[in-house]
Amino acid sequence: MRRFSQRSALVTLSEINITPLLDLAFVLLIIFIITTPMLQQSMPLKLPVGGQPNPRVSKRDLRVVEIDPRGNYYLDGHKMSLDQVEANLVRDYQSNTNLVIRIRADEGGRVKEFFAFLERCRRHGITRMDPQTEPPKH
C-alpha cells in the first residue's frame, strides 16, 4: 500500500497544469491587440479628407513625420526642430535610398511648416513622400 501512495504522488508531480499559462497568454494577446493601434498613431491629428489608401511600405524603409496644428515637428513620435528632422532624414536617406517619408499634418495647421519641410526634403533629393489623409466618406 505504501508503494502505491508514493507512486501516485510521483504521477501528480509530473503533470503540469497549463490552464494558468493559457490564461496568461490570452491576457497578453488582448493587451497587444489593444496597444498596437495606439503605437501606430502617436498624435491625434485631424487629417485632410481624400486621397488614396497608403501603399504598403517596409518598416525599415518608412519614417513618419507629423506636424501638429501649432507647427511642431515630430519624427517617429519624438518632438524635434525642423533642422533636427532634416539632419535625421538626410542621414537615414544616405544609408537607405528606398526611404519613404509618411507625412501626417493636421488639416487645421499652418501650411508654412508643411512646405518648409517639403523644401528641405527636396533640397537633399528625398522625393518619396506619402502624405497621409483620411479616406473620403461616401
Say if residue 64 is in the same domain as residue 126: yes
Q: CB atoms < 10 A from the CB of 102, how many? A: 16
pLDDT tens per residue across all 138 residues of the chain: 455 555 555 555 567 788 888 999 999 999 888 877 666 556 666 666 666 666 677 788 889 899 988 889 999 888 999 999 999 999 999 999 889 898 888 887 778 888 899 999 999 999 888 877 776 676
8 vs 73: CA distance, rounded Å: 67
Q: What is residue 60's DSSP assignment? A: G
Q: Indicate the helix (H) or strand (E) that contains 73.
A: strand 73-75
Range of the domain at 27: 2-40
CATH number of the domain within which 116 lies: 3.30.420.270
**Which pLDDT does position 132 carry in this prediction?**
77
Domain count, the chain: 2
